[in-house]
Amino acid sequence: MAARTVTQGLNVFSKFLSVKLWNSRIKEAVNQESAQKALLLFCQMKQKDLEPNNLTFPFVAKACAKLSDLKCSQSVHSQILKSPFGNNIFIQTAVVDMYVKCDKVDYAYKVFERMPERDLAAWNAMLLGFAQLGFLGEVFCLLDGMRFAGIHPDSVTVVGLSLGVLSVKSLELVRGIHAFGIQNGVAANVTVANTWISVYAKCGDLASSEKVFDEIDVKTVISWNSMIAGYANFENFLYAFGLYRRMLVAGIRPDASSIVSLISSCAQPEALFQGTLIHSHGIKLGCDLNLSVTNTLISMYSKCGDVNSARLLFDCMSDRTHVSWTVMISGYAEKGNMDEAMSLFFSMEKVGETPDLVTILSLLSGCSKTGSLELGKLIDSYAKSKEFKDNIMVCNALIDMYSKCGSIVEAKEVFHALREKTIVSWTTMISGCAMNGQVEEALDLFHQMRSLGLKPNHITFLAVLQACTHAGFLDKGWEFFNMMTIVYDISPGLDHYSCMADLLGRKGKLKEALEFVLNMPIEPDAAILSALLSACKVHQNIEIGKYVASRLFEMEPQEAAPYVEMANIYASTGKWDRVAMIRLLMKHNKVSKSPGESLIQINGKTHRFTVEDRSNSEGVLIFTLLDDLALQLKDDGYLLHLGYIPEFEFI
């Protein structure tokens, strides 16, 4: 009997050692970012009839969290509930975190609610879950509950609160949480400071980001990366490069995130050269095979207008994710090459990659820019079949696409079908009505929106001012401009001033328009001056036109439009010597006028037609048909009064 007891004891001890060994191996796999291996080890452990203990399940839950695998997570959770450790606080906290990482915050909250006791880690796991999804109300409710339970917030709590306010991008809230962090003694924590750098920059306060960065005593590589990313948010590549040099001088070794942030700061045509330098530097650092770096490079080259380089990188990738496909599709859509964008979209599905929300939004944006109604309807049908139309962002993009493609009826159908309309929905519909000539309806929508208690933002007012400009409603324009500044305390931007200057110009009040532009609190840009110059052409005002054109020649010496406009003003008043002078000035400055171009889509294929371009395979047939139409128009009494068109229009 005694021998049997000893044998049983030895077996239990042996099993305990075996479980401990398996736990160690699972933990090592998780820490080495081998989540799949960790789950495989867990399965093998179970097959050997070894029962997981309270130390096994947290590591297994962490592996599921890293994979964001819901099915696997539910299976592990089921096994936890059947084990003696279902109420273990550490295991339950790991389960909460696991469901949060699977984007199932509702599942996480059910587990959290049923916990018999909760420690700081449990509260933080749940708070971070709500914060990452932008559920700000729930975040603050949890904070209240946490403090009521006598749990003192720590650095992780403050990080969660800081991330939570990103959904509303409220500087006031960020500053409040900053003060809360100082009050709770966590402001010196480098992780908290790094989060504040990022959050301040994303909320538009770069100065506060810089202040927090400068106050960090011992900066980590994440601190430097956060500040570089802040400059990237503002597309300020010069400051980003300057800070990167300081980072290297300080002896901090950059990582892939450093390169990603630097590349992001170069996503503008004038920074293409710097972007290629960073690409080269990244190769030297060994970051060129990093998937995030490659995806960001594809995006950067596309946004800089070098789509061919972007495509070369894409084609050379041995492993592509849905992000890789989406950034390349976005690059083509941004450039207006919808044929290539759609070709990649179909290829993406063929290889088994699932298009996501960003893919759909990119394609809809491309259709909006090119007026591709046929393709837009195709994407609308696809979005509906894949349940993307449940997303408000997709519906807003559809309203915008249909409006810009001239199909205002379908835009209204999408708008009225929305169960809940956001400020973006109203603004997009107002803008759509305005651009389609339904100005009164646009203004009615604005008043309806206000009556529902929705607060218009600066983009809403821009849409309303554009509506007034289209209709020539000067008094209403002033009314809305003043409402924006006085009632809603919104500072007008260049676009708002441009609308008012354009409106004054269209009404022939050119002196008032010029005074308005010169008295603006911000420096006028080329768009405002170009609108004023166009008004001078319409009303044949040479004096103001000369002044405005001279400003534009200084600002954009290689841009052809102001030269053409000024020449047409001279031509309309018979001053042909001045027209010749403008031609000489263009020749001296090596300015060339790009030929006009039009697009038409037939059976989903885009056809481009450029002035005097006869390279189209059906060119002979097309021009023969055009000549026939011209003759028919002439026979029907519609004469082409080419003689009245100023000579300079044909340059």
pLDDT of 199 above 90: yes
Give the SS3 label for residue 32: coil
Neighbours of 354 (CB within 10 A): 10
Question: Which of 600 and 155 is assigned the larger pLDDT?
Answer: 155
pLDDT of 509 above 50: yes
The alpha carbon torsion through 304, 362, 134, 354 (nearest 10 deg) reads -120
Shortest CA distance to 504 belongs to which of 473, 527, 481? 473
Amino acid 400 reads D
Q: Average pLDDT over the chain, rounded to whole?
A: 89
Beta carbons of 606 and 370 less than 8 angstroms apart: yes
H or E, element range at 321: none
Shortest CA distance to 495 belongs to which of 515, 465, 468, 471? 465
Average the pLDDT over 636-641 and give the result: 57
CATH code of the domain in which 575 resides: 1.25.40
Q: Total domain count for the chain?
A: 2
Beta carbons of 540 and 570 less than 8 angstroms apart: no
Beta carbons of 247 and 285 less than 8 angstroms apart: no
Stretch among 214-223, 321-330, 642-651 having the lowest mean pLDDT:
642-651
Parallel, antiparallel or unpaired: strands 605-610 and 597-602: antiparallel
Q: Is 479 within a domain?
A: no
pLDDT of 397 above 50: yes
Q: Is 75 within a domain?
A: yes
pLDDT band at 638 (very low <50, low <70, confident <90, very high): low
Q: Is 326 within a domain?
A: no
pLDDT of 649 above 70: no
For residue 12, the model assigns a pLDDT of 43
pLDDT of 559 above 80: yes
Where a domain ends, among 117, 146, 172?
117
pLDDT band at 381 (very low <50, low <70, confident <90, very high): very high
Six-digit token string for 428: 């997009």
Where a domain ends, among 66, 91, 117?
117
- Max Cα–Cα distance, the chain, nearest Å: 123
What is the C-alpha separation between 569 and 576, in angstroms, rounded?
10
b/e map 511-527, b = 16+ CB within 10 Å: eebbebbeeeeeebeee
CB neighbour list of residue 154: distance below 8 Å, 6 or more residues apart: 120, 124, 184, 186
- Note the pLDDT tens digit of each residue in 399-435: 999 999 999 999 999 999 999 999 999 999 999 999 9
CB neighbour list of residue 251: distance below 8 Å, 6 or more residues apart: none
Where a domain ends, among 117, 135, 165?
117
Q: Is 270 within a domain?
A: no
Q: Is 566 within a domain?
A: yes
User: Which structural domain, as residue segments, surrounds residue 616?
Assistant: 513-650
What is the C-alpha separation between 291 and 356, in angstroms, rounded?
18
Q: Is 606 within a domain?
A: yes
DSSP conformation letters of 545-577: HHHHHHHHHHH-TT-HHHHHHHHHHHHHTT-HH
Give the SS3 label for residue 330: helix
pLDDT band at 301 (very low <50, low <70, confident <90, very high): very high
